[in-house]
Chains A and B, each alone.
Chain A
Amino acid sequence: QVQLQESGPGLVKPSQTLSLTCTVSGGSISSSGYYWSWIRQLPGKGLEWIGYIYYIGSTYYNPSLKSRVTISVDTSKNQFSLKLSTVTAADTAVYYCAREFWTNSGTAFDHWGQGSLVTVSS
């Protein structure tokens, strides 16, 4: 059974860079047919897709966040990471990592981490 686990600081100062890592267990991040995504949920709000990476390093980001987002992968550690630069209080959220599998018509998120609350505050 594939499991994902987010890790990283729970508190980030305004204007700094938020960094999170997702460790994948029970399966290889290098398997074809999967994207590895970051999704966030602002307090009391809905879900916002941030971006994904394929194991060979190709990425696709939400246009609304693209200028501040970098997602990278380390296949040797079975991990992928998120960096969000120049954060403000509006970036305070629960950040989820998720596996996105390819379906006949598109994709869907079938495995999720438990979520990591990141607060932006001085």
Chain B
Amino acid sequence: EIVLTQSPATLSLSPGERATLSCRASQSVSNYLAWYQQKPGQAPRLLIYDASNRATGIPARFSGSGSGTDFTLTISSLEPEDFAVYYCQQRLFGPGTKVDIK
């Protein structure tokens, strides 16, 4: 069973700043990794699949990179609506990173 770990657990930033979220797999998953955004009371929303492909309708400020065991989700300039919890997922989900307002 592949285990995903995410860091940091919480990221406190201001609007306009760059956010860098990390996801590490316990063994190589090649490019099989997705990222989701979840806001309170809502279902998760797919942002990135296959490590670096943006899902339909996702703004260009969201980008994904990495392969093997180390992956990164970057939000180039935080908008107010980007403050949320972010999960990485292979088959199972990582524990999440909360991006909150500093």
Q: Interface on A for B, CB 8 Å cutoff?
A: 46-49, 62-63, 96, 98, 103-110, 112-115
Contact = CB atoms under 8 A, between A and B. Distances in A.
A63 B1 contact: yes
Contacts of A98: 43
Contacts of B92: 48-49, 62
A48 B92 CA distance: 7
6 contacts: A46-B93, A48-B92, A63-B1, A104-B31, A108-B34, A110-B46
A105 B91 CA distance: 12
A20 B96 CA distance: 26
B30 interface: yes
Given A46-B96, A49-B91, A108-B49, A114 B31 contact: no
Contact of B44 (A47, A63, A105, A107): A47
Contacts of B33: 105-106
Contacts of A114: 43
Taking residues whose C-beta sits less than 8 angstroms from the other chain, chain B's interface range is: 20 to 34
Given A46-B87, A47-B87, A109 B95 contact: no
A46 B95 contact: yes
B84 interface: no
Interface stretch (B11-19, B50-58, B72-80): B50-58
A78 B29 CA distance: 32
A106 B32 CA distance: 5
Given A46-B95, A112-B44, A105 B32 contact: yes
Contact of B43 (A46, A106, A113): A113
Nearest to B34: A108
A106 B33 CA distance: 8
A108 B50 CA distance: 8
Contacts of A48: 92-93
